[in-house]
């Protein structure tokens, strides 16, 4: 018989909903079965109790946008201090040399790094399929299984190379037909549908043309059709920079959102990375369509792209989540740090009393779950998945803080003490239990050095 576990009396707990769990929560198998309100005890007998009186508990954090392969080109000298388009043009030829074991190591390193920061669900956008890497999705499925969190692997694509007026070099693009055939293959091989069996999905697939400036119009349309046929989600980059606005106006005679609508992508099964340069009317349309936005604060700051209009999007009805974005445009894959970045960048756009640390935590949890179309994760409540992150405030940086939940964000927490996914511990005492992170790091460093070497 399976045991019940009471994680008792946390220092603070954020449920991402209205429920009171001041006295902790009870877990059985992969689910939370009870929240324990202030001054109360569990209503059912428990087999094991963990004292959490020195821990802050959050729902497992959800990263809505990343490019794990980019962990191999962090702080890469030729790409430093550049805007998005020149930054991409510098890195594309390097990324074109990616080899299978490099992607495997990058996926494990990035997922391990994220897990240690309290992140239990990661959406990765992989759009590079040079000749050596046509099985990128298979590699990522294998690699992620070794780390143990939930993944939403998006089968990206680029079909518009330099020769056709696109941005990426020809060696990194595939034909529309090859792309669509592989999309179908990987969905059929790996996508787990919600409710298909008793378990909550750990591996999901989505379809994700890289951006309007790297795929054909026809591919955008056909990808949407295919995703709807298979009932998987759609993802792309949109409205990240003003250069992109300019590109869309020149190439299609349309602003990015109008273009998106013209290819049948303004819909509830779509989430967009960045979503910065929308006007008021476009924000209302996004809200009416219930399209999701992955706000990527660090990346937007580093590439000087702009600031997402999170509050207007949220009020219009669009779900807002957080993404660390590619490690090369952020140089970190740390979700709890991204929560702090989100709070800070939003304070540049809004008044201090309009955005709080709780808003930033909400985006990183329940907001992210909505963006990824999930209702079984992202919050703490009966029947929800037991995905949690716990943090201790015992470092010098927290000393003298008074509100533990605010301290987590404001004083700059960077690593979780304990993480649980579907009722299983993946991190205890700050150590990854599912894999040897030192060993992964060693292999990853070698891969990065090889990739950076000129051929």
Please, which of residues 371-390 interact with Zn ion by CB under 5 A?
none
Applying CB under 5 A, what is the total number of residues that bind Zn ion?
2
- Output the six-digit token pair for 4: 């019940």
Tell the smallest beta-carbon distance from residue 41 to Zn ion (Å).
46
Please, which of residues 254-273 interact with Zn ion by CB under 5 A?
273
Phi, psi of 268, rounded to the nearest 5 degrees: -75, -15
Contact characters 43-62, Zn ion, x per CB under 5 A: --------------------
Tell the smallest beta-carbon distance from residue 273 to Zn ion (Å).
5
Residue with Cβ nearer Zn ion (148 or 275): 275
Stretch that binds Zn ion, among 108-116, 286-294, 317-325, 340-348 (CB under 5 A): 317-325
Which of 293, 363, 366 is CA-nearest to residue 17?
Answer: 366
DSSP per position, 2-21: --EEEEE--SEE--SSS---
Residue 92 CA to residue 443 CA, distance in Å, equals: 22
Residues 432 and 119 sit within 8 Å (Cβ to Cβ): no
Tell the smallest beta-carbon distance from residue 410 to Zn ion (Å).
27
Tell the smallest beta-carbon distance from residue 237 to Zn ion (Å).
5
Phi, psi of 430, rounded to the nearest 5 degrees: 75, 5
- Output the six-digit token pair for 226: 């295919």
Residue with Cβ nearer Zn ion (204 or 294): 294
Residue 383 parent element (H or E): none
Please, which of residues 101-160 interact with Zn ion by CB under 5 A?
none
The beta strand positions in 72-160, using DSSP E, are: 119-126, 150-157
Please, which of residues 273-292 interact with Zn ion by CB under 5 A?
273
Tell the smallest beta-carbon distance from residue 248 to Zn ion (Å).
17
Tell the smallest beta-carbon distance from residue 274 to Zn ion (Å).
7
Residue with Cβ nearer Zn ion (222 or 305): 305
Tell the smallest beta-carbon distance from residue 351 to Zn ion (Å).
29
- Output the six-digit token pair for 183: 């999309």
Residue with Cβ nearer Zn ion (67 or 285): 67
Q: Kindly compute the dihedral angle of the four CA atoms of residues 48, 52, 55, 57, in this order, to the nearest 10 degrees.
A: 60
Contact characters 76-105, Zn ion, x per CB under 5 A: ------------------------------
Q: Is 65 helix (H, G, I), strand (E, B) or coil?
A: coil
Residue with Cβ nearer Zn ion (173 or 273): 273
Phi, psi of 185, rounded to the nearest 5 degrees: -60, -45
Residue 347 CA to residue 328 CA, distance in Å, equals: 25
Contact characters 318-357, Zn ion, x per CB under 5 A: -------x--------------------------------
Site residues (vs Zn ion, CB under 5 A): 273, 325
């Amino acid at each position: 018989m399976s045991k019940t576990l009471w994680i008792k009396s946390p220092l603070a707990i954020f449920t991402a909903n209205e429920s009171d769990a001041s006295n902790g929560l009870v877990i059985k198998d992969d689910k939370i079965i009870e929240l324990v309100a202030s001054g109360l005890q569990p209503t059912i007998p428990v087999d094991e109790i963990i004292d959490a009186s020195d821990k802050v508990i959050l729902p497992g954090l959800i990263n809505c946008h990343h490019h794990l392969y980019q962990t191999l080109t962090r702080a890469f000298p030729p790409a430093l201090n550049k805007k998005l388009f020149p930054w991409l043009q510098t890195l594309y030829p390097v990324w074109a040399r990616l080899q299978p074991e490099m992607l495997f190591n990058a996926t494990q390193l990035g997922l391990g790094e994220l897990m240690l920061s309290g992140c239990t669900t990661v959406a990765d956008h992989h759009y590079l399929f040079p000749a050596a890497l046509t099985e990128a999705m298979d590699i990522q499925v294998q690699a992620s299984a070794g780390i143990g969190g939930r993944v939403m692997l998006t089968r990206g694509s680029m079909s518009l190379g330099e020769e056709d007026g696109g941005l990426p070099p020809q060696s990194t693009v595939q034909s529309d037909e090859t792309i669509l055939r592989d999309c179908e293959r990987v969905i059929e091989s790996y996508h787990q549908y919600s409710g298909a069996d008793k378990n909550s999905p750990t591996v999901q697939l989505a379809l994700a043309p890289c951006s309007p400036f790297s795929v054909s119009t026809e591919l955008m349309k056909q990808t949407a059709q295919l995703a709807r046929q298979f009932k998987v989600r759609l993802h792309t980059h949109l409205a990240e920079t003003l250069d992109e606005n300019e590109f869309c106006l020149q190439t299609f005679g349309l602003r990015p959102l109008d273009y998106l609508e013209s290819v049948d992508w303004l819909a509830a099964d779509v989430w967009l990375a960045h979503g910065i340069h929308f006007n008021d009317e476009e924000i209302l349309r996004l809200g009416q369509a219930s399209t999701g936005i992955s706000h990527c604060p660090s990346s937007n700051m580093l590439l000087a792209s702009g600031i997402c209009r999170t509050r207007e999007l949220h009020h219009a009805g669009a779900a807002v989540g957080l993404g660390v974005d590619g490690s090369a445009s952020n140089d970190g894959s740390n979700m709890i740090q991204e929560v702090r970045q989100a709070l800070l960048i939003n304070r540049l756009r809004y008044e201090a009393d309009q955005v709080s640390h709780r808003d930033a935590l909400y985006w990183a949890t329940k907001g992210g779950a909505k963006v990824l179309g999930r209702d079984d994760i992202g919050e703490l409540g009966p029947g929800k998945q037991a995905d949690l992150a716990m943090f201790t405030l015992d470092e010098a940086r927290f000393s003298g803080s008074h509100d533990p939940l605010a301290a987590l964000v404001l004083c700059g927490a960077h690593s979780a003490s304990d993480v649980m996914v579907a009722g299983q511990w993946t991190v205890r005492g700050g150590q990854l239990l599912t894999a040897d992170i030192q060993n992964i790091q060693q292999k990853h460093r070698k891969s990065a050095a090889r990739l950076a070497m000129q051929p």
